Chain A
Amino acid sequence: MRKVIGVLLAIALVTGVALVAHRPGPAGAQGGGTIEATVTYAGAPVVEKLKVNKDTEKCGTEAMIEKVVVGPNKGLANAVVSVPSAKGAAKAVKTTVDQHGCKFVPHVTAMTPGELDLKNSDDILHNIHTYSTANPSINKAQPKFKKMMTEKFEKPEFVKLTCDVHSWMLGWVAVMPNPFFGVTDAGGNAKIENVPPGKYAVEAWHETLGKQTKEVEVKAGQSTKVAIEMKK
């Protein structure tokens, strides 16, 4: 029995040490730099329109499926800019996607692995139907009286969100391996702060245009600009 306890103790010790050794330093250490990314796309915006035959008081009479949103100066909205190779612990930040006006708001949500709150502020039935490979796919009803649901996304992946009741509803959840990411605004800009200094490949991902990467060097306390052009 003593032997067994001894062995178990040894295992526990080793595991403990390993855990401590593996724990990364505090995210966004003071000496970090900033990446200011601009994502552009020279092509035309892609917006599909659909006539709505139900719930028009909540959804409107015409649904817009915004597949490619291009702003001024060819800025591409809804692209996820990230630094996959940077080292940093995931922050447990509560992220929320709202189903509002029969749209997922925001259209693209980025988060580190953990829980995602799914809100239904429409007062009608929606169903959260996800398409994913690394995370288990979900298909759960969210009737009008269920205002909030929480789901876990534990593995890094781009998860597609759909609603079968309203087929035009489309959203994305970008589950990122580290906290160094941003989603581009209407002008195609995203800012990533507190990136540990070093040379990295910055990645831009878009739901229909795919991925592009660009090399950057991040210096402590400085801001580095990077322009990424998406191609079809």
Chain B
Amino acid sequence: MSPAGVGGRLARGVTLVASIVFASPALVAAQAGNAMAGKALYELRCVGCHGEKGDGKGPAAELVVPKPRDFTTGLYKIRTSANKAPTDQDLFRIITDGMPGTSMPSWAVLPDKERWNLVAYVKAFAADKFKEAPKKLELPKDVASSGESIKRGKEMFEAIECHKCHGTEGRGDGPSRAELKDEWGHPIAPANLTKRWTFRGGASRTEIATRLAAGVLGTPMPAFIDSVEKPEDIWHLTNYILSLGPDSPGYATLVTVTAVSDAIPDDPSADFWKKLTPNNIPLLGQVIVDPRNFNPSVDLVSVRAVYNDKEIAFHLTWDDPTQSTADPGKKLFADAISLQFPPQPTPGVERPYFLMGDASDAVYLLRWENGKGVTESTANGPTKIAAIQGAEATGKAVYANGQYRLVMKRPLVSKSETRPTFAPMVFMPVAFQAWDGGAGESGTRMSLTSWYYLRLEEPQSGRRFVIPPVVAILTLAVMLLVVRVANRRA
């Protein structure tokens, strides 16, 4: 070994260190936290889930899915580094923004300094894993989205078989779904690529491309940077994934029922339904009565509703990774969904208890169950459900690629007092309940909403084409008159 060689190596080493310290803006912006100050805060805010020892075994851990992070392994899902350890910035961002679709909330309420202190303390649980300075992951050159890029992304999606876990249309319903386990042996679900607001590490272009390139540590999601045909395929895939669903669910506050004059199709796949704007309703786990459902499967139902002079129809779309009918041996139940109404439109704000009514006030349930079809019933609580004799409702469902589409129909006017009559321009309370039988949901283990309002739009008539022009002409005439009077006076 020559001295010149050693000198050269030293020089290169210095340059390398300098470039790491100075060239990366992410690292420059990071603040050195105080681990001891972080400890006090951690013991106040974080132990509930992550545990005193940082092993992810806090008292609440058994109730949450996915499980809280075990900091002692130093293994983190979300990182922008090329090596195993995340950057301080990565940890800071997760503490600040939380992780969508998990129990990790945003801690943006804490001052920056306290969050940096938490970063320092969390790292201390696996100090040896952070010895090596994080290397920045270099993504290939960005490719803007275009029809061509999305097409190439789809080709790559199929070639690298993303569908094995994420499903043909990206709803997380692939054939390997049931087998997936995380590093700790807990079952783990593949991301539903059509709902990117639930992506754990964020849904921006760069964030998606980074997950594809580097994988998600501790999960089955592998790194693809060296496993696509060309490096830029990472961006084509990103563009394709972004084309699979909307940016945000755009939740509705009111369910509008559109008036139509034609017959309403029974087929949930009919083009008729595609032309209607969906009302997206969020569902949450039922955690009021035992047995509770802390990790509900169905988190959103898209409602399209129409009525004509005879009937009202509800077109419901929701994701469910498995189509299941009741199989008591395997602890599987039938997938189901229900709409809940008061038996009669209620004057004022008084409504039955949203959780399927109670002893004094009943609710009317319009329910569809896989294998059973549509049923109508009266409920005085989630366990006191009585079928209504003489069915008036019908329904038809289809299931494909991790999604149900269902049409339920009913006469607008009911003959009995146990069923509501729907009238235009009346605010009718409505609530929703859903069960993913494949995830073991049945009875009170459901996801649900509290009361929403349903409003039947005013019947369409030719008047909307007549009144506005008449108003315009009258306004013009009045204006002209005013101008004329003013001119005369002048």
Knowing A136-B84, A141-B223, A142-B227 touch, does A12 contact B180 (C-beta < 8 A)?
A: no
Question: Cβ of A129 and Cβ of B3 under 8 Å apart?
Answer: no
Please, how many angstroms separate the alpha-carbon atoms of A8 and B476 in the complex? Answer: 96
Given contacts A129-B222, A164-B180, A167-B181, contact A146 B175 (CB under 8 A): no
B149 to chain A, nearest CB (A): 19
User: B227 to A167, Cβ gap below 8 A?
Assistant: no
> Which chain A residues in 117-166 approach chain B with CB under 8 Å?
124-125, 127-129, 131, 136-137, 139-146, 149, 164-166
Is A61 close to B, CB under 8 A? no
Output the least CB separation between B236 and chain A (Å).
Answer: 14
CB-CB < 8 A to A54: which residues of B? 164, 175-176
CB contact list, A17-54 vs B, under 8 A: 53-54
Q: Are A124 and B161 in contact (CB under 8 A)?
A: yes
- Measured as residues with beta carbon below 8 angstroms from the partner, the interface class of chain A is 20 to 34
B223 and A11 contact, CB distance less than 8 A = no
Chain B contacts for A11, CB-based, 8 A: 6
Q: Which of B87-95, B213-221, B360-368, B378-386 contacts A (4 or more CB under 8 A)?
A: B213-221
The interface size of chain B toward A, counting residues with CB under 8 Å, comes to: 29
Question: Is there an interface contact between B176 and A165, defined as CB atoms closer than 8 Å?
Answer: yes
Q: 0/1 per residue, B71-83, Cβ < 8 Å to A?
A: 0000000000001
B84 to chain A, nearest CB (A): 6
Q: Does A16 contact B (CB under 8 A)?
A: yes
Instruction: Write the nearest CB–CB distance from A15 to chain B, whole angstroms.
Output: 7
Is residue A9 within 8 Å, beta carbon to beta carbon, of the partner chain? yes
Contact A8 B6 (CB under 8 A): yes
Interface residues of A in 173-224 (CB under 8 A from B): none
- B176 adjacent to A166 (CB under 8 Å): yes
Q: Which residues of A contact B179 (CB under 8 A)?
A: 164, 166-167
Contacts of B222 in A (CB 8 A): 127-129, 139-141, 164
Interface residues in A45-71 (C-beta closer than 8 Å to B): 53-54
For residue B2, CB closer than 8 A to chain A, the reply is yes
In this complex, the member of A128, A141, A143, A167 whose beta carbon has the largest number of chain B beta carbons within 10 angstroms is A141
Q: Does B159 contact A (CB under 8 A)?
A: yes
Please, which residue of chain A has its CB at the minimum distance from the CB of B182?
A164
With both chains docked as a complex, state the minimum distance between the C-beta of A17 and any C-beta of chain B, in angstroms. 11
Whether A12 pairs with B229 at a CB distance below 8 angstroms is: no
- The CA of A202 and the CA of B159, in the complex, are separated in Å by 47
**Which residues does B use to contact A, with CB under 8 Å?**
1-3, 6-7, 83-84, 159-161, 164-165, 175-176, 179-181, 183, 215, 217, 220-224, 226-229
